[in-house]
Amino acid sequence: MHLTNYSVNKTNTDFIRNMDASNDCFGSKWSLQGLLRYMQSYKIDTDPILRKIEDIVVKTIISVEPLLNNGYNMLINHKQCCFELLGFDILIDETYKPWLLEVNLSPSLNCDSPLDHRIKGTMLAEIFTLIGIISPIFS
């Protein structure tokens, strides 16, 4: 069994904190890229896994589209000025099948390690680029 709640896991005596952002497959929290490299080192084809995860994300968004549109139409006055960050918790079983555990609305952007800063900082820069705000640091 695996508990995905980082706030709980980080208090466990077996938790290993990663203090090196360049080593993203060490400790109790890995990057997706680190996980993929690790799996590939064991000759696991990660492309089908990623396609299935993408399929889960797309189908999940489609399944709630009417609800999201209803809230959007009721609450938003300026139609081009909002977005939402979603956090998808995906479990990969022993047959490499991904399963959706939950979707978090506005997931935590708290950073308590260099790896967190790297991953979340890059993600925020990409979000700003998507919405049309280009950072001179990353351009």
In a domain, 120, yes or no: yes
In a domain, 135, yes or no: no
In a domain, 29, yes or no: no
Query: How many structural domains compose the chain?
Result: 1
In a domain, 22, yes or no: no
Average pLDDT (14-42) is: 93
Q: Do residues 104 and 117 make contact, with C-beta atoms less than 8 angstroms apart?
A: no
The domain in which residue 118 lies consists of 47-130
In a domain, 116, yes or no: yes
Instruction: Give 31-86 pLDDT, tens digit per residue.
Output: 999 999 999 999 999 999 999 999 999 999 999 999 988 988 888 887 777 788 99
Which residues neighbour 27 within 8 Å (Cβ) at sequence distance 6 or greater?
16, 17, 18
In a domain, 23, yes or no: no
pTM, full prediction: 0.84
In a domain, 71, yes or no: yes
Distance CA 107, CA 6 (A): 11
